[in-house]
Amino acid sequence: MRLLTTLILLLIALLATAQAHIKSGSAILFGKSGTYPRAIRLSRTSLLGTITEHASGNSTITTVRSTDNGQSWTPIGTVTTEISAGEDVDNGYPHQMPDGNILYAFRNHDLGNSVGNDPTHYHITLYYSQETGSGGQDSIIRTSTDSGKMWAALRAFTGQTTSARNGMLSVAYTAPKSAIKLAIFESGISGAFKVYVVRSPNDGAMWDPERTLLHGGDSFNTGAPWIIRVGDKLVASCTTNEDGGEWPTGAMKFDKTTVHGLPAMWTSMILLDDKSFLALYESGGTSFAQMYTFA
Ligand SMILES: *[C@@H]1O[C@H](CO)[C@@H](O)[C@H](O)[C@H]1NC(C)=O
């Protein structure tokens, strides 16, 4: 019940902020001819982003950078490129280590995606969605205490009791220095993906088995969710085709706000400061960043 109470309070908090946020300026170009826009903060004004570009038969994980706190973005380099017909390279995510080095995680199916395969490419992230065959995915946590040299055994924490696809995981702490974490993900069987939240009271060591539906219905898809904490508010976003669009294309929404209507896809968010954030989305083959500020 405590979980439900917490989440209900959370949802009320989210709803309470429905009137308070203000769209700041128009959408900023994040990555031309790119998709899966994601970003992290490196320092006070410097942000590092990534997109996947599909051009000349190659799939390329490209980095983009902003040195003005997200107001403009320029390409800086390539993490990896592969011939699209031969290898799957997509959905990158940068992670900065305490020593300043940057790891890049990205999707790769070289070793297949069925049960028993162990694609090491996945294991540089702490949280990821693992293919379990026939459309299924589980949410996985792995931890390393030596900057990624050694990793504890993987643990599935959502999806292991269903054959549904529990995918596109995003995780946030509920408050500074809190041990409470929320993980948001899409889950679906037979087409209707919905977005759920689960909670860990102790920094991911254990997860409550109860999941709470955040958004979704049986006649449309809601997926590609993201969660960030902006000051004292938690903001959850998703892509949904409840108003039209051929999945996985839909509109990007958070709370009751539409960031971008049809077509938008592969959405994420990045915190700018304790009042503002960027909502990232691809639309028509180009990735954009839209800033929001809480009044
Ligand atoms: C495509 O990827 C292959 C394999 O990494 C690389 O050798 C080639 O240079 C790439 N082509 C382009 C146009 O980037």
For each of the domains in the chain, give its residue range(s) and CATH number, in order of start: 2-294 (2.120.10.10)
Is the pLDDT reported for residue 211 higher than 70? yes
Q: What is the pLDDT of residue 165?
A: 84
Q: Which residues pair with 110 in a beta bridge?
A: none
Give the other-Cβ count within 10 Å of 294's Cβ. 16
Q: How far is the CA of 198 from the centre of ligand 1 (A)?
A: 40
CA distance 40 to 49: 6
Q: Which structure tokens are listed for 59?
A: 């799939």
pLDDT of residue 19: 60
Judge if the beta carbon of residue 71 lies within 6 A of ligand 1.
Answer: no
Residue 16, pLDDT above cutoff 60:
no
CB 237 within 8 A of CB 252: yes
CA-55 nearest atom, ligand 1: 13
pLDDT of residue 116: 56
Query: How close is the Cα of 70 to the center of ligand 1, in Å?
Result: 30
Ligand 1 contact, 83 CB (< 6 A): yes
Q: Is the CB of 67 under 6 A from ligand 1?
A: no
Q: Is the CB of 55 under 6 A from ligand 1?
A: no
86 Cα to the center of ligand 1, angstroms: 11
* Predicted TM-score of the model (pTM): 0.69
Amino acid at 181: K
- At residue 123, the 3 state secondary structure works out as helix
81 within ligand 1 shell (Cβ under 6 A): yes
pLDDT in tens, 118-174: 444 333 447 888 888 777 888 988 887 776 778 888 889 888 777 788 889 999 999
Strand pairing category for 58-66 and 286-294: unpaired
For a mutational test of ligand 1's pocket, the pick from 52, 53, 81, i.e. the residue with the most ligand atoms closer than 8 A to its C-beta, is: 81
Distance in angstroms (rounded) separating the CA atoms of residues 176 and 179: 9
Residue 58 Cβ contacting ligand 1 at under 6 Å: yes
Asked if residue 56 has its Cβ within 6 Å of ligand 1, the reply is yes
